[in-house]
Homo-oligomer: A and B are copies of this chain.
Amino acid sequence: MSADVALSAAEQVVALLREQILNGQLPGGAPVREQDVAAQLGLSRTPVREAVGRLVAEGLLIKDGNKTAHVFRPSLAELLEIYEIRAPLESMAARLTCEAADKDFVRDLERAGKALENAEPGMAWSRQHEAFHLLLARGGGRRRLELMVTMLRVQSEPYVRFAVAGDHQFPQRAQHDHEEIVRLVASGDGKGLERLVRNHLLATSKQVSNLLAQAASAPTASHLSRRSAGRPR
């Protein structure tokens, strides 16, 4: 994608762990032992330790005291709080994106919308969904806003994926909103877009939390309903 020739080991570990958490290879609650990761990657603990520290600061890993770090798994209340924060930030970012959108951007967004519409429900759809919303979160060049939205999305993304897995009509229900989003950006209606994105997020929040509550009361085979997961070798 880009010419990142000289990434430090620590940064590579950050990227790898983040990817594995997003993939679900490292499910919520899974322990992340420094030596294990180091041994797996043929590194010393030092860069791994640094990577873990950063991911803790980022909120993807949790650590208290001198205990082993674990993959972040929000309670229902925490997940709702994340969406509460995302709603104003992401809707504002969308408005700013809209206000700064040129023709090229509109075309890119339309393409992403099409790709999302045609994606198979499951992992492919999740990827497209993420890409679509990250485009919308550009914020007209506001890097910090974009970064914060990205981090918050990453923290909640695994749970959206879970919801999609448990309810294959989920994408279909969101489709209308996505089409409307593209339309509003194309017509330059920033205010309307802001409202819509906010409502879209709050609706998603409700659906995801309902599915999670459901899964918690009727435990399926999903890792999301277990309280602890074995180490991934």
Contacts and interface: CB of A to CB of B under 8 A. Distances in A.
A84 interface: yes
Interface residues of A, number: 22
- Count of chain copies: 2
Given A57-B58, A58-B57, A88-B88, A82 B144 contact: yes
A182 B88 CA distance: 24
Nearest to A57: B57
Contacts of A49: 50
Interface in A102-156: 142-145, 148
29 contacts: A8-B66, A49-B50, A50-B50, A50-B53, A53-B54, A53-B57, A54-B54, A54-B57, A57-B57, A57-B58, A59-B144, A78-B144, A81-B142, A81-B143, A81-B144, A81-B145, A82-B144, A84-B92, A84-B142, A84-B145, A85-B89, A85-B144, A85-B145, A85-B148, A88-B88, A88-B89, A88-B92, A89-B89, A148-B148
